[in-house]
Amino acid sequence: MKYSTSFRIWHWLNALVILGLIGTVLLRKTFLSWRTNSELIMLELSKIDISITSEQAKVIAKAIRAGMWEWHYILGYALVALLLFRIFIHFKEGSKKRSFSSLSTHKKVVRISYYIVYATILFMSVSGFTMYFYEALGLAEETAHSIKEIHELVYNILLYFVPLHIIGVFIAENRDEKGIVSTMINGEK
């Protein structure tokens, strides 16, 4: 299969943005976790005879990661722009895919997985914007929190898809689809 320049640009930009988004979440949940860091801040300050409340330590810990979390928002905007670009590509170039019924079972599963990922990206974009603009949308904070919990749950689809996609491409490249990587890079096999 030959990929258009527009699709290849979209693919690699989308990969970078999704990896960036996953990276910010992983940092937020690990090294930049306010829970862990607020305890560390309190402990280290107590060693030099400075006492702060857990709420104060939480504020400091969240401030430490704020710059990184801004990148999550910026990358979220980029994801929305790339989603719109992907829709534009679909309508501009049309679908050059073989009919679903003519595909092998393996290829059907692959195609369905891509549709699931597209739906996930759409959901993540809409839910992310809804959380970010919940006040302007007139939503209650509790509603935004409920959306956040679903957003974080659905995120796991991307977390699992990325390594599976890379493994699948590696296997395909070394089995029956030689040149698939170079095709996605330069458009030709």
Is 20 part of any domain? yes
Q: Of 93, 148, 78, 83, which Cα lies nearest the Cα of 117?
A: 83
Instruction: Count how many domains the chain has.
Output: 2
How does residue 189 score in pLDDT terms, banded at 50, 70 and 90?
low
52-88 per-position pLDDT tens digit = 999 999 999 999 999 899 999 999 999 999 999 999 9
Residue 187 domain flag = yes
Of 85, 87, 88, nearest to 10 (Cα)? 85
Q: Is the pLDDT of residue 3 over 90?
A: no
Terminal alpha carbon distance of the chain: 8
What integer pLDDT is reported at residue 88 of this predicted model?
A: 94
Domain assignment present for 79: no
Domain check: are 110 and 60 in the same one? no
Average pLDDT estimate for 129-151: 96
Does residue 118 sit in the same domain as residue 62? no
Tell me, yes or no, whether 112 lies in a domain.
Answer: yes
Same domain, 112 and 43: no
Q: Is 13 contained in some domain?
A: yes
pLDDT in the model for residue 23: 94
**At what angle are helices 105-132 and 141-174 packed, to 10 degrees?**
150
pLDDT at 2: 78
| pTM of the full structure | 0.86
Please give the average per-residue pLDDT across 135-163, as a whole number. Answer: 95
Domain that includes residue 145, residue range: 97-189
Q: Distance between CA 64 and CA 55 in Å, rounded?
A: 14
84 domain residue, yes or no: no
Exposed, middle or buried: residue 140 (CB in 10 Å: 0-12, 13-18, 19+)?
exposed
Q: Which pLDDT score, from 0 to 100, does residue 26 have?
A: 93
Residue-averaged pLDDT of the chain: 91
- What's residue 177's pLDDT? 82
Task: Answer yes or no: is pLDDT of 96 > 80.
Answer: no
In the chain, % of residues over pLDDT 90: 69
Q: What interhelical angle do 105-132 and 54-93 show, nearest 10?
A: 130
Question: Could you tell me if 183 and 108 lie in one domain?
Answer: yes
